[in-house]
């Protein structure tokens, strides 16, 4: 939707954000509790704010709103296109932003999106060049996934998906329809991972199912296997590890050999680990390693790299996590260290080194080496708050829990590390201060 169609910046943020109005109100009140402020927000009140009808907004509500959305209250109620000018004039750019670089870049990207969407809407026919641009855009977004904050990825992936929808309404050519369904499926797949990174489990599951549906429509076995694997990852993180195993079992026979199947087996190992089945973990990893040895770089989702890739670094990291979960610290350290070492030379990419570093810290702690655990986290602390994905913060929370065990509860260094982790994770809430791009 074009910026001019929004009445306020707040309306733009809410409509382009990951939550419904009701969910936004709940999150607002959670933030108020975290701030120890007595502020509530009803859907009706939020609707008034979104259209600029504030009346006598309480000072406490304004304070929470500014912390929650990352802009001064008068900016939130102003017109979207006035944001950059206002903040440049008043020196109130949102935390973590450089107005003269990042805000202008975001504005340029948004303007390009609006132009492309409008052109797609008014065009009488579907241009093959537009489809090619979408195909490259979604794969480029997958390749650069780890370099962008989640909310920026959310905006860009949704833009690609929406343009694909527009073009699907304008063509009946089977070849074009198939290409556009593939783009829509890939965009939904990325939206699923973004939702996962924001710990929005229901949204992540819905997007993964949508990606799988598009894959089934066009017979894209790679995308179907990738989507099923993503559903299993989500289920595992939600504490539904048995369902994750079942999802893999129902997908494995139809999955292409090589990287696609290796990914499924590695995810299966993670699920068996959560279920406390070390023998099954060992067998799943054995089968995963065999498939990985047979993978071909020419496979679409391997060749695409990034979030669709499954290279040796990501494979080893996933194996290390599974081993770590069942308490096999020494082999876990070996696999995780291999994963980190392989990142620079892995052409497929996809591994977020920070996740592996947290796993390494946990493995070192399991081996009784607190100093090594602290050292492994050195690069993790530098991650900007808006880029702290759930894959990192969730692992940090697990590490913090291990620090409360009898072995470490009386250690001053362990207590300090727990406090540092708590601050690190609490700051991640500020990721919602990011503007739409």
List pLDDT tens digits, range 285-304: 999 999 998 876 545 455 56
Confidence label for 106 from pLDDT (cuts 50, 70 and 90): low
Q: Tell me what percent of the residues of the chain surpass a pLDDT of 90.
A: 46
At CB < 8 A and 24+ separation, what contacts does 321-324 make?
A: 321/270, 321/273, 321/359, 322/266, 322/269, 322/270, 322/272, 322/273, 322/281, 322/284, 322/285, 323/273, 323/281, 323/285, 324/359, 324/362, 324/363, 324/366
For residues 306 and 190, give the distance between their C-alpha atoms in angstroms, rounded to a whole number.
11
Q: Which two tokens stand for residue 239?
A: 């504490």
pLDDT band at 205 (very low <50, low <70, confident <90, very high): very high
Tokens read off for 314: 């990501």
Mean pLDDT of the region 420-430:
76
Residue with the larger pLDDT of the pair 137 and 423: 137
Q: Is the pLDDT reported for residue 95 higher than 90?
A: no
Residue indicated by tokens 């680990």: 273
Residue 34 has pLDDT above 90, yes or no: no
pLDDT at position 375 = 94
Q: Among positive and negative, which fits the CA dihedral 83, 89, 94, 97?
A: positive
Average the pLDDT over 194-210 and give the result: 93
pLDDT value at position 355? 92
Percent of the chain with pLDDT over 70: 84
Q: What pLDDT is attached to residue 121?
A: 59
pLDDT mean over 394-405: 92
Least confident piece of the model among 186-190, 234-238, 259-263, 303-307:
303-307
pLDDT of 300 reads 44
What does the pLDDT read at residue 94? Answer: 40
Query: Cα dist. 371→339, 361, 364, 378, 413 in Å?
Result: 21, 9, 9, 11, 9
Nearest to 436 by CA among 23, 69, 101, 45: 69
Six-digit token pair at 211? Answer: 């990606």
Q: Cα dist. 408→368, 411, 415 in Å?
A: 9, 5, 8
Among candidate residues 229, 278, 234, the one with its CA nearest the CA of residue 249? 229
CA distance linking residue 175 with residue 177, whole number of Å: 5
Q: How confident is the model at residue 146 (pLDDT cuts 50, 70, 90)?
A: confident
- Of residues 38 and 86, the one with the higher pLDDT is 38
Report how far apart the first and last C-alpha atoms of the chain are (Å, whole number). Answer: 12
* pLDDT exceeds cutoff 60 at 193: yes
pLDDT at 164 over 90: yes
Mean pLDDT, rounded, of the chain: 83
Instruction: Name residue, tokens 């797949």.
Output: 189
Higher pLDDT, residue 164 or 71:
164
Flag whether pLDDT at 161 surpasses 90.
yes
> What local confidence, expressed as pLDDT, does residue 301 receive?
52
Average pLDDT over residues 321-326: 94
36 burial level (CB within 10 Å; 0-12, 13-18, 19+): exposed
Domain spans, the chain: 3-96
Judge whether 62 and 34 are in contact, CB under 8 Å: no
């Amino acid at each position: 939707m074009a910026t001019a169609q929004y009445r306020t910046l707040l309306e733009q943020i809410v409509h382009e954000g990951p939550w419904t109005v009701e969910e936004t109100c709940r999150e607002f009140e959670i933030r108020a509790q975290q701030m120890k402020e007595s502020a509530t927000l009803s859907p009706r009140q939020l609707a008034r704010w979104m259209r600029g009808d504030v009346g006598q907004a309480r000072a406490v509500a304004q304070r929470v709103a500014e912390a929650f959305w990352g802009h001064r209250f008068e900016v939130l109620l102003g017109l979207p296109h006035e944001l950059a000018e206002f903040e440049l004039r008043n020196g109130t750019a949102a935390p973590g932003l450089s107005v003269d670089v990042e805000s202008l870049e975001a504005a340029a990207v948004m303007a390009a999106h609006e132009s492309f969407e409008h052109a797609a809407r008014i065009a009488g026919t579907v241009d093959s060049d537009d489809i090619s641009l979408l195909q490259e855009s979604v794969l480029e977004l997958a390749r650069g996934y780890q370099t962008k904050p989640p909310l920026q990825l959310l905006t860009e992936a949704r833009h690609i998906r929406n343009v694909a929808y527009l073009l699907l309404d304008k063509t009946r050519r089977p070849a074009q329809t198939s290409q556009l369904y593939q783009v829509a499926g890939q965009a939904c797949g990325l939206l699923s991972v973004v939702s996962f990174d924001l710990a929005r489990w229901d949204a992540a599951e819905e997007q993964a199912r949508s990606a799988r549906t598009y894959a089934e429509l066009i017979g894209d076995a790679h995308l179907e296997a990738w989507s099923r694997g993503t559903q299993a990852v989500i289920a595992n993180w939600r504490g539904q590890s048995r369902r994750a195993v079942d999802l893999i079992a129902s997908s494995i026979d139809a999955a292409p050999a090589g990287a696609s199947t290796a990914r499924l087996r590695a995810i299966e190992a993670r699920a068996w680990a959560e279920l406390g089945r070390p023998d099954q973990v060992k067998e799943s990893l054995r089968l995963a390693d065999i498939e990985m040895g047979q993978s071909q770089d020419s496979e679409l989702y391997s060749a695409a790299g990034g979030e669709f890739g499954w290279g040796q670094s990501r494979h080893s990291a996933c194996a290390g996590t599974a081993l770590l979960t069942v308490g096999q610290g020494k082999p876990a350290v070996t696999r995780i260290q291999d994963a980190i070492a392989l990142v620079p030379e892995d052409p497929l990419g996809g591994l977020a080194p920070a996740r592996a570093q947290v796993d390494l810290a946990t493995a070192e702690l399991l081996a009784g080496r607190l100093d090594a655990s602290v050292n492994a986290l050195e690069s993790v602390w530098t991650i900007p708050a808006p880029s702290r994905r759930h894959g990192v913060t969730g692992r940090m929370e697990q590490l913090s829990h291990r620090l409360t065990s009898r072995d470490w509860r009386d250690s001053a260094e362990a207590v300090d590390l727990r406090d540092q982790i708590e601050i690190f994770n609490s700051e991640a809430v500020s990721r919602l201060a990011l503007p739409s791009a």
